[in-house]
Amino acid sequence: MAKFTVIGGDASSDLAKRIARKLKSPYIKTEKKIFPDGESKITINQIPKKSIVIVVQSTNPPVDSNLLELLSIVSKVQKFSSKVYAVIPYMGYARQDREFLGGEIITIGVVGKLLKAAGVKKILTVDIHSKLALKELKIPSENVSAMEVLVKHFKKMKMKDPLVVSPDLGGKERAERFSNLLKTDFIALRKHRDRKTGKVNILSGKVDVKNRDLILVDDMVSTGGSIVKATQFLKKQKCRRVFVACTHALLVNDATKKIKNAGVTQIISTNTIPGESAKVDVSRVISDALR
């Protein structure tokens, strides 16, 4: 088996340690100092030679700071190793994968150029928002799924006649797969999001969810606007409890409070982004892919 060294960035230090343990590899921590003007200085104390160096860093908020930290670490360690892999559990900018409105920049492509220039030879990410974003990186990349470990968590929960729900038609395939693994059925709601204002509306008519526990499944939850609208709609249809299952819980701008106020019982996410909802560990999924 290849010899690895794992380095954890500030955004993913706990997950990086877990991955290192699974790989039975040395773990090196980084130190970060923030100056009064907002600049950060990263220090790496030790880098073993003759190994594949795996840098683990999600690019969740603050997105640009975490991305710059990842680039800085990679640029340093590539001086010691010819093979530097970037494990980016949550890949920021993956929603900017095409020009939706005239003049928009495909930022995920810019991120790919920066990573390549810094010295990244391979990228591994978890449940990236779009396959198109993966192609735009223009670096050998692998996307792994956290769905099986999320479903495993829900199988341990006592639920009444569970139904998997996608908050939009775009997530229909994800919800179907989740429901197949959970051995239950699913539905997908129809929604409309204004590209300029971001406002979300549910377009679906009446759905039969009465007295059922529901699992709203999505790859990521950011502001929670879609989840709030879907929950409010489903609660009017007399469902029982509503749970949210997602890989990446960004939960910005009081999203947790808004989601709970809408009637969600619990948000369950993975530790691609650390936080209160991060109940499901993806270190095994990542380490298996690296082997």
- Please name each of the domains of the chain with its CATH number: 4-145+281-290 (3.40.50.2020), 147-271 (3.40.50.2020)
Active site residue 160: no
Lookup: tokens for 145: 């799924």
Question: Which residue ranges in the chain fall short of pLDDT 70?
Answer: 1-2, 195, 203-205
Catalytic-role residue among 113, 191, 199, 210:
191
Provide the pLDDT for residue 224: 94
Whether the CB-CB separation of 87 and 286 falls below 8 Å is answered with: yes
Q: What angle do CA 12, 90, 13 make, to 5 degrees?
A: 5
Q: How far apart are CA 89 and CA 87, in angstroms?
A: 6
Q: How far apart are CA 39 and CA 61, in angstroms?
A: 16
Lookup: tokens for 64: 């640009």
DSSP assignment of 116-144: HHHT--EEEEES-S-HHHHHHT-S-EEEE
pTM of the predicted protein model: 0.93
Work out whether the CA dihedral 154, 159, 164, 167 comes out positive or negative.
negative
Identify the residue whose tokens are 């492509």: 109
The torsion defined by the Cα of 208, 210, 214 and 220, in degrees rounded to 10, comes to: 50
Identify the residue whose tokens are 């591994």: 124
Provide the pLDDT for residue 257: 97
Provide the pLDDT for residue 164: 97
Rg (CA), the chain: 20
